[in-house]
Amino acid sequence: MLPQEKVQNLIHRHLELEKKLYSGEIDKKKYAEISKEYSDLNDIIKQAKEYLSYQKDTEDLNNIINDKGSDAELREFATSELINLKKNFLINEKKIKLFLLPKDRADSKNAIIEIRAGTGGLEASLFASDLYKMYEKVSQKKKWIIEVISISKSEAGGLKELIALIKGKNIYSSLKYESGVHRVQRVPDTETQGRVHTSAATVAVLPEAEDLDIKIDEKDLRIDVFRSSGPGGQSVNTTDSAVRITHIPTGIVVSQQDEKSQIRNKEKGLKILRSRIYDYERQKIDQERSKDRKSKIGTGDRSERIRTYNFPQGRVTDHRINLTLHKLEEFMEGEIFDEMIESLSLQAQQDQLNNINQ
């Protein structure tokens, strides 16, 4: 059972915030912060009050049930109510436990998504392009905004690499479990004998870091400039507009050459670099916290094979939660993407609860 004091603290905090909101004595910035916390607590306050009254309500119902002098119909009603009360208690307990889990403050951030063709040559680059189209369709349905930061196409119209910023509400929380190796099994258009080929693409999803999240010292950067190059290595620019930025303390390197302006390339490169450093620091903390814990779902290991898209059998399987959806076409159209994400989120929450209970 949860400590009564923890649950009581939620109710006290809710009342405290309510008084502050109606006092008219807080500035706009603080008002927005308090409103958000108050709104979050509103979602759990009913369950918290029911949880605290459980013991007394149970005693009252047991008194009715054990009172031989009371009406038989009333005792039957009390017995039914006691069963429902116990069921509701367990539901409330789980909801409160989930609410009390440590919040990932990056969940509300925009996300930078990086898609790269992996093993499989031409077919891998075509699959990388298909993955991006899938995320585009999901974004359209959810009214998210996608801004391409960097793109490198293959000669056949696929993608060698694409980096994009996705903006909207709680983007990172929706996409963070997409990081990893995505494997595809299908018959390529160039295959004359109908053989199924296996290839892969990697996806990395990073929370967009702002200046407040990561301070980058200029002395920690090495910036090299060079001429942009196109497919085959030929120069596509006569000036040194491409930029390579190295963050010396972490060894993280970002190259940017999409823009004709060196200044714009540097701006875009620093945006990617800031998010990669932020993600790097977060992973270090997460690994330290969870080194003795086992979780089915990870968000850091880019080499982990997380999902298989089997086109001949029309199925998509997420290996972390052993979930198979026999609706691959709809999934690639972004139709049932939420079903996968909700299952992954629920499993991640369960893993956290299991770790707390160990």
Q: Confirm whether 51 is domain-assigned.
A: yes
Same domain? 115 vs 206 = yes
Q: Confirm whether 293 is domain-assigned.
A: no
Same domain? 57 vs 9 = yes
SS3 per-residue string spanning the chain: CCCHHHHHHHHHHHHHHHHHHHHCCCCHHHHHHHHHHHHHHHCCHHHHHHHHCHHHHHHHHHHHHHCCCCCHHHHHHHHHHHHHHHHHHHHHHHHHHHHHCCCCCCCCCCEEEEEEECCCHHHHHHHHHHHHHHHHHHHHHHCCEEEEEEEEECCCCCEEEEEEEEECCCHHHHHHHHCEEEEEEECCCCCCCCCCEEEEEEEEEEECCCCCCCCCCHHHEEEEEECCECHHHCECCCCCCEEEEEECCCCEEEEECCCCCHHHHHHHHHHHHHHHHHHHHHHHHHHHHHCCCCCCCCCCCCCCEEEEEECCCCEEEECCCCEEECCHHHHHCCCCHHHHHHHHHHHHHHHHHHHHHC
pTM of the model: 0.73
**SS3 for 217?**
coil
Last residue of a domain, one of 52, 73, 100: 100
Q: What is the pLDDT along the chain (358 residues), one digit of tens a residue?
A: 788 999 999 999 999 999 999 888 888 878 888 998 899 899 899 999 999 999 999 999 999 999 988 888 999 999 999 999 999 999 999 889 888 887 788 888 999 999 999 988 899 999 999 999 999 999 999 999 999 999 999 887 899 999 999 999 889 999 999 999 999 999 987 776 789 999 999 999 999 998 777 888 999 999 999 887 654 444 444 567 899 999 999 999 999 988 888 999 999 999 999 999 989 888 887 766 555 445 556 554 557 899 999 999 999 999 999 999 999 999 999 999 999 999 998 898 888 877 766 5
CB 274 within 8 A of CB 214: yes
How far are the Cα atoms of 176, 295, 307 from residue 290, in angstroms, in the given order?
Answer: 17, 9, 23
Q: Read off the pLDDT of residues 248-295 as tens digits, 9 standing for 90 and up.
A: 999 999 999 888 889 999 999 999 999 999 898 888 877 665 554 455
Q: Using CA atoms, how far apart are residues 268 and 261, in angstroms rounded to an integer?
A: 11
Q: Confirm whether 105 is domain-assigned.
A: no
Q: Count of domains in the chain?
A: 3
Same domain? 10 vs 95 = yes
Q: Using CA atoms, how far apart are residues 142 and 120, in angstroms rounded to an integer?
A: 32
Same domain? 145 vs 177 = yes
Same domain? 140 vs 173 = yes
Same domain? 310 vs 206 = yes
Same domain? 30 vs 47 = yes
At 85 the pLDDT is: 96
Tell which residue, 231, 269, 265, has the closest CA to residue 253.
Answer: 269
Partners of 163 in beta bridges: 114, 150
Same domain? 151 vs 202 = yes
Q: Using CA atoms, how far apart are residues 313 and 323, in angstroms rounded to an integer?
A: 15
Q: Confirm whether 295 is domain-assigned.
A: no
Tell which residue, 77, 13, 21, 82, has the closest CA to residue 48.
Answer: 13
Residues with Cβ within 8 Å of 121's Cβ and at least 6 positions away in sequence, in order, are 199
How far are the Cα atoms of 62, 171, 250, 275 from residue 214, in angstroms, in the given order?
Answer: 58, 19, 13, 8
Q: Using CA atoms, how far apart are residues 59 and 65, in angstroms rounded to an integer?
A: 10
DSSP letter (8 states) at residue 107:
T
Q: Confirm whether 106 is domain-assigned.
A: no
Same domain? 68 vs 145 = no
Q: Confirm whether 296 is domain-assigned.
A: no
Same domain? 159 vs 198 = yes
Q: Write out the residue range of the structural domain in which residue 135 sits.
A: 111-210+301-355
Last residue of a domain, one of 100, 126, 145: 100
Residues with Cβ within 8 Å of 69's Cβ and at least 6 positions away in sequence, in order, are none
Q: Domain containing 255 — which CATH number?
A: 3.30.160.20
At 235 the pLDDT is: 47
Q: Domain containing 205 — which CATH number?
A: 3.30.70.1660
Alpha helices (runs of H) in 53-157, residue ranges in sequence order: 54-66, 72-100, 121-142
Same domain? 124 vs 155 = yes
